[in-house]
Structure 1
């Protein structure tokens, strides 16, 4: 069976904490902790805005999360340095398995889309710079609806944009909350467990499939 597959971007296709050298140059030995907190906080801010129905695009969430982290670590960066860090999000690298995995999935006849909380233009730029865009048929953003995952409306929107139904549309994400959101909206969902130490939330909703990377996903769908 051929699927219409939506891939989460940050954490699934590219590493959102892959800011290493850039953060180290500006922040020092707390760069890894800072990067993880920054990622977690911007996702939290998107959740808040979705629930409050006070939408601002993901760039705003990212900027405000950066300011929060600077406050936590009692750091001060110039406006130029902050803008430089923000710009680096367009230069994140794809995980090693992503392009080989996407190539195999395309060869198998699946329809592929990047499906992100980020604005479409920003995601397209990121997918271009990471060399992922040529292997996708669509780039779909929640910005079109002005709300965020895991709102069920955004997963319904994914199906409409890909002209798919619940039986043929699949969400692939490394984020358990995204998998749970997709499943609760009726889609099939795959959790990419990118680290052995990662745990899935102990909810009544569980993924249809767990894989370690996109190459394994292609192997399973081809079996």
Structure 2
């Protein structure tokens, strides 16, 4: 069946998760990060994701805002920067308004013009997602911001992907799911979605039972090849 819905992961796919550390490092308040912002961003992202998986496994749910704070606190301590509450506050504030990747606005506009329904399916809380899309100026291009808070468990749990079918009453093969996270791409593929893995970092394919349908380095050409799925 032809694709009718294009569902995007948010963080790392539409929004640059390194953007908060990069922006902080360019300010006087974030001078301590000037040489180390990339390392902090990598630690922060890794711990943020690790905590979602651990909480899903143990059933000890906390929302993504809390998980994001916890990941940052671990990272700041690991880098010897945990004694600067102003830096912590600045980083968390900047995370609310992460920049979209440069190709994202035009890509969404083209998909909408072609008649595809575009939405986000994310670990983020509703408020986090609302802040991010508004800041990036893409809120008018998205039909829905689907948050895992409605089911209380993180991706790649099947209950999360079920949210798309519940919202749109679609068959999985009518959906193109787009993620920059290899584990998310594998989970969505196993669910039955067509999957585009946006492999921005040039990483190997994860050794999981299910693989993405297609891999690209960014989202620039998605409107041109979506009909090939």
Length-normalised TM-score, structure 1: 0.93
* 1:207 counterpart = 2:212: yes
Asked if 2 retains the 8 angstrom alpha-carbon contact of 1:23 and 1:35, the reply is no
1:161 is aligned to 2:167: yes
Check if 1:149 corresponds to 2:150: no
| Distance change in 2, residues 1:26/1:64 (3 Å) | farther
Structure 1 Cα separation of the partners of residues 152 and 46 of structure 2: 20
C-alpha RMSD over aligned residues: 1.6
Aligned to 2:32: 27
Displacement of 1:54: 0.7
List runs of 5+ in structure 1 lacking aligned partners: none
1:96 alignment counterpart: 102
Asked if the contact 1:172–1:191 (Cα under 8 Å) also holds between the matched residues in 2, the reply is yes
The structure 1 segments of at least 4 consecutive aligned residues displaced by more than 6 Å after TM superposition are: none
- Does the 8 Å contact 2:23/2:94 carry over to 1? no
Q: Deviations 1:59-78 (Å, cap 9, x if unpaired)?
A: 11111111111221122344
Deviates further, 99-108 or 25-34: 25-34
Larger CA deviation: 54-63 vs 164-173: 164-173
User: What is the CA-CA distance between 1:26 and the residue it aligns to?
Assistant: 4.7
Residue 60 of structure 2 aligns to a residue whose secondary structure is: coil
Give the TM-score taking structure 2 as reference length: 0.91
Counterpart position of 1:135 = 141
1:14 match: 15
1:135-178, Cα deviation, whole Å (9 max, x unpaired) = 11111100111110000110011221122111212210011101
**Structure 2 alignment gaps of length 5 or more:** none
Q: Note the alpha carbon deviations across 1:74-130, whole angstroms, 9 max, x for none.
A: 223443432221111122111111111111111111111011101011101110001
Aligned residue-pair number: 222
SS at match of 1:214: coil
2:197 aligns to what? 191
Does the CA-based 8 Å contact 1:59-1:118 persist in structure 2?
A: yes
The equivalent position to 1:75 in structure 2, one of 81, 93, 101, is: 81
Tell me, yes or no, if structure 1 residue 40 matches structure 2 residue 46: yes
Contact residue 104 and residue 215 of structure 1 kept, 8 A: no
